[in-house]
């Protein structure tokens, strides 16, 4: 049997950019553009990742500091898919085709998205994600996840040497 992959992409979910200063970027997007803070995820003792929203999605923009010696760039785009099956079919399709899987399958600690990332030849990744949390502005309180918080609650890690978080 020849394996095929039907994929139902619902929408562009979010974009993650690397920046020189996540605090300054947060202040601009919240103070000037009106985005709302969902949370910060600290990978080490410095604030690492900033997650902002302009609608009910947990985040529509995310920011990570640049790796040392690197310049700001597009790190990844997330395509929100219709089902968990879409994520898993994508994972197996990528694996069969020996694509450079960046991370996944896994589930993020803050937005609860089940994900798989693939590194593209353009130097950024594409994330296929499902189950992205929605927030209510009237009740949501921003969270600061402490240093050591996992990016993947299932224990996954970066799998491709081409994949850089920042």
pLDDT at 2 over 60: no
Q: Write the pLDDT tens digit of every residue in 54-112.
A: 999 999 999 999 988 999 999 999 999 999 999 999 999 999 999 999 999 999 999 99
* 3-state secondary structure string across 113-132: CEEEEEECCCCCEEEEEECC
pTM score, whole prediction: 0.92
Task: Give 3-state DSSP helix, strand, coil % of the chain, rounded to 5.
Answer: 15, 35, 50
Kind of pairing, strands 74-81 and 101-107?
Answer: unpaired
| pLDDT more than 90, % of the chain | 77
Lowest mean pLDDT among 20-24, 45-49, 78-82, 103-107: 45-49
Question: What was the pLDDT predicted at 1?
Answer: 47
Q: What's 138's DSSP letter?
A: T
Contact between 151 and 104 under an 8 Å Cβ cutoff? The reply is no
9-145 is a CATH 1.10.1660.10 domain: no
Residue 47, pLDDT score: 56
Of 114, 154, 145, nearest to 50 by C-alpha is: 145
- Average pLDDT over the chain reads 92
pLDDT at 139: 97
**Contact call for residues 61 and 52 (beta carbons, < 8 A):** yes
Give the pLDDT band of residue 150 (cuts 50, 70, 90). Answer: confident
pLDDT at 7: 85
Q: What whole-number percentage of the chain has pLDDT above 70?
A: 96
Q: Where are the domains of the chain?
A: 9-145
Residue 161 in this model has a pLDDT that exceeds 80: no
């Amino acid at each position: 049997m020849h394996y095929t992959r039907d994929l139902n992409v619902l929408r562009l979910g979010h974009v993650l950019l690397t920046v020189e200063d996540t605090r300054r970027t947060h202040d601009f997007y919240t103070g000037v553009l009106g985005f709302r803070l969902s949370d910060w995820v600290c990978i080490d003792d410095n604030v690492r990742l900033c997650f902002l929203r302009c609608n009910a999605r947990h985040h529509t923009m995310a920011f990570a500091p640049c790796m040392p010696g690197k310049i700001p760039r597009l790190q990844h785009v997330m395509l929100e898919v219709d089902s968990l099956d879409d994520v898993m079919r994508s994972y197996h399709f990528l694996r069969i085709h020996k694509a450079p899987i960046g991370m996944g399958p896994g589930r993020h600690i803050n937005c609860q998205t089940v994900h798989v990332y693939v590194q593209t030849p353009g130097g950024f990744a594409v994330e296929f994600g499902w189950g992205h949390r929605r927030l209510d502005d009237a009740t949501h309180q921003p969270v600061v996840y402490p240093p050591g918080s996992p990016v993947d609650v299932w224990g996954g890690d970066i799998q491709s040497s081409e994949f850089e978080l920042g």
